[in-house]
Amino acid sequence: MQKILKIIFLSTLYLVLSTFPAYGQERIESPNYRIIFPNFNSGAGIPTSTNYSLNTTLGQTAPGLFSSSGYRTKAGFQYINSIIPFSFSVSDIQINFGTLTPNTPSTDTSTLIVSAGGAGGYSVTASENNPLQLSDASENIIDTLCDTTCSETAAASWTSSTKYGFGFNMSGDDIPVDFTNSNYFRQFSDRSNSESAAVVMSSANVGRQRTATITYKVNVSNVQPAGVYQNVIIFTAIPSY
């Protein structure tokens, strides 16, 4: 009789224990990592077909955007999982206009290429360390004012051969709308004059190989002192998450 009761007791204990849910909220660690309160998702993985690949996860405990002064935390549900690594490149980083002829504009180009997968897109800004100038800074070539008036943030038409200075035009993907056509130019923001860098490419969307061409232009008068003029153009590419 004792044996029978013992068997029944063990069977009942098993049934009771099996009705309790199993939790995975325990610390997991190794010599290389430590995970505190991990979450086992009820559905996760990467379902695919010939037309799509979908990375999913379910059951996260605290999804959302949390922010305060000095930080932002985007948590849960793979809040941002970029499949497009951020990259930025500039071709032809040395621009040489050669010997300038008065009243004959000279141009040269570079190509800017951006890939961005962050949810907030990206922006690229440009500025110059100072206007084109001689090595001793005794003379410079002014930043263009175009045919009428242009600035570091507003392009205008520049077609006259008697309007002098140094400036740039943008064409291609994600450029500012004031670059109406290839005749519209801006001057570069001048860091030596405490001007803020201006946006030359931007998008709120993800994308691969977003490409724009920057055309540099310089035009001098016949009274411009001879010499080698130079400056540095600084491009800053900023991903937004």
For 25-34, the pLDDT digits (tens) are 556 677 777 7
pLDDT at 212 over 70: yes
Flag the least confident range among 45-59, 126-140, 213-227.
Answer: 45-59
**Which pLDDT belongs to residue 163?**
97
Convert the pLDDT of each residue in 42-61 to its tens digit: 555 567 788 877 666 565 66
Residue 9, in any domain of the structure: no
195-211 tens-digit pLDDT: 999 999 999 988 999 99
Does 165 reside within a domain?
yes
Asked, for residue 202, whether it belongs to a domain, the answer is yes
Domain count, the chain: 1
Q: Is the pLDDT of residue 116 over 50?
A: yes
In a domain, 72, yes or no: no
CATH code of the domain in which 202 resides: 2.60.40
201 in a domain, yes or no?
yes
**Which of 21-35, 58-72, 95-109, 131-145 is the least confident region?**
21-35
- Residue spans of beta strands (DSSP E) within the chain: 28-29, 34-35, 44-45, 56-57, 64-68, 71-75, 87-90, 106-116, 122-128, 132-133, 140-141, 156-157, 165-172, 184-185, 198-203, 207-219, 233-239
- In this prediction, residues 90-110 reach a mean pLDDT of 95
Q: In this structure, is residue 224 part of a structural domain?
A: yes
For residue 139, tell me if it sits in a domain: yes
Query: Which residue has better confidence, 29 or 115?
Result: 115
Domain that holds residue 147: 87-239
Residue 27 lies in a domain: no
Calculate ∠ Cα 76-56-25, nearest 5°. Answer: 50
